[in-house]
Amino acid sequence: MVTKTIEMTYEQVDAIVLGELQSALETNIKDYFNNVNVCDTRKEHRRLIKSLHRTVSYFMSHNDFNDYMSEIDWPEDITRSKFAW
């Protein structure tokens, strides 16, 4: 098997990770609104969304995070503010 090495900067890796985290957050929020059983309980699903939300915020500046979250529908029964950075 032939392997290839690709060099990437930390910024490129961070952008890939951020994109995947945002996708996971958006998918879980859509699933929550559509009552998809992602977790055993709705409470656990809310915890997952809050955790993804917090993790996404680590990879973004405050202004970029607020701009991003302003485009996201946030479930009303999640106690964490969608703009909590």
The one-character DSSP state at 80 is: S
Contact 75, 32 (CB under 8 A): yes
For the whole model, what pTM was predicted?
0.89
The angle that helices 42-58 and 10-33 make with each other, rounded to 10 degrees, is: 160
Q: Report how far residue 81's alpha carbon sits from residue 64's, in angstroms, rounded to the nearest whole number.
A: 16
What is the residue extent of each domain of the chain? Answer: 10-70
In this prediction, residue 11 has a pLDDT band, given cuts at 50, 70 and 90, of very high
In this prediction, residue 71 has a pLDDT band, given cuts at 50, 70 and 90, of very high
